[in-house]
Amino acid sequence: MRTSVVCAVVLAVSMLPVRVSAQGGVLIATRETREKVAAQQSNIWDVFRDRRSVRRFKSDAVPEADILRIIDAARLAPTSGNQQPWKFLIIRDKDKITQMKDACIKRSLDRLDGDQKRQAEERIRSRMNDYFSAPVYIVVLTDNTSMYPDYNHRDGPLAAGYLMLAARALGYGTVFITDAIPNDVTKEVLSIPDKYTRVCITPLGVPVESPASPAGKKLEEFILSNRR
């Protein structure tokens, strides 16, 4: 299947159900309805709180309507001078996904020698199998020919953040990937034109498990004041 840079994509797929429940500090995906998870995310504050970086996915297809809704939310992110420089490359082609995975494994192994390579190969392959277990991948790009290209590096991550929150609101998992799937891998395998700069790539799918909330800094640690 030929891939192209698009802001929307037409899909004809179905969604298998999933329930997320807490067990032993980890949210385990079990069989119920993903729609129930989404319904529990109706409050925006719950979405902020419950979004997680997910790295293992079920093979359940993601419906067209959900992908379009997520992209529609991403395009509403704040943008410099309303330039809206982002593009969203949506990949469902299993051959392309496999090509990206194989390229990532090869690059990781090529950096190692002898015993190091033999010891690390199983771990690397397992890690990449997890990363590439989702049915859909979205590459967030910015257009170098936008009105204010010097601001693209600010606008792009905002759209990615909106995308990931929208995905969580519908019960899906994502993760902001940069180095784990190198830019040159996506550029080569997906034939991304030079006029676009990659912000990140994220899988999109139903989590096998969603990590419990990690320990975070206290609110007061983030706040500065100019009071004497």
What CATH number does residue 95 fall under? 3.40.109.10
73: Cα separation from own chain's centroid:
14
Query: What DSSP character marks residue 213?
Result: P
Q: Please give the Cα distance from 104 to 90 (Å, whole number).
A: 19
Beta bridge partners of 27: 22, 210
124: Cα separation from own chain's centroid:
20
Q: Is residue 53 part of a domain?
A: yes
Query: What DSSP character marks residue 201?
Result: E
Q: Is residue 9 part of a domain?
A: no
Q: Is residue 214 part of a domain?
A: no
Q: Is residue 143 part of a domain?
A: yes
Q: Is residue 2 part of a domain?
A: no
Q: Is residue 228 part of a domain?
A: no
**Domain with 189 in it:** 19-208
At 216, the pLDDT band (50, 70, 90 cuts) reads confident
Is 132:100 a contact under the CB 8 Å cutoff? yes
Q: Is residue 56 part of a domain?
A: yes
Model pLDDT for residues 35-80, shown as the tens digit of each residue: 666 666 668 888 998 899 999 999 999 999 999 999 999 999 999 9
Q: How many domains does the chain have?
A: 1
At 112, the pLDDT band (50, 70, 90 cuts) reads confident
Q: Is residue 133 part of a domain?
A: yes
pLDDT at position 212 is: 80
Burial classification of residue 86, based on how many CB atoms lie within 10 Å of its CB (0-12 exposed, 13-18 middle, 19 or more buried) = buried
